[in-house]
Amino acid sequence: MGAITSCCVECDQPITNPICASCLSEEMHILVHETRPDLAKHIVGFHFGGEVNCIKCQKGMSLCAHCFSKDIYEYIKENDSMLAKEFVNRFDFDLRVDLISDAF
C-alpha cells in the first residue's frame, strides 16, 4: 500500500491536504458572495489533474490548497482588504506564515 505522494506544481511541496481548486473555489465563492458578489464571480475552480485525489470529489489534482488559496487571496486583497482578512481566517492553509512579512 502506502499513500501516493505527489508534489504541488507551484510550490513543489507534498500535497498533504488534498482538496482541489474546484472544491475549494465553491466554498470560497460562498464566503465572498456574502459581501462581494462582484468579486465572487471571478473565483472559478479548475482541474489540473494529477496523482493525488481530492478528498471531496475524488478527481486528480496537482495544485495544493495553499497555492490556490494564495492566488485567490491576492486577488481579493487587491479589491477588498477587509474581506481578505476574513478570507485568511476561514481558509488558513498556512497563508499566515507567508503573510507575516506582508503589511497585513
Residue 38 C-beta: closest distance to Zn ion, Å: 25
Show the cell assigned to 1.
Answer: 500500500
- Within residues 56-75, the interface with Zn ion by CB under 5 A covers 56-57, 64, 67
Q: 482541474: which residue's cell?
A: 47
Query: What cell does 10 get?
Result: 507551484
Q: Where are the beta strands (DSSP E) in 1-104?
A: 52-53, 60-61
Site track for Zn ion across 20-59, x = CB under 5 A? x--x------------------------------x-xx--
| Nearest-angstrom CA–CA distance, 85 and 102 | 12
7 binds Zn ion (CB under 5 A): no
- The rounded distance, in Å, linking the Cα atoms of 77 and 61 is 25
Q: Of 7 and 86, which CB lies nearer to Zn ion in the complex structure?
A: 7
* Chain residues in the site for Zn ion (CB under 5 A): 8, 10-11, 20, 23, 54, 56-57, 64, 67
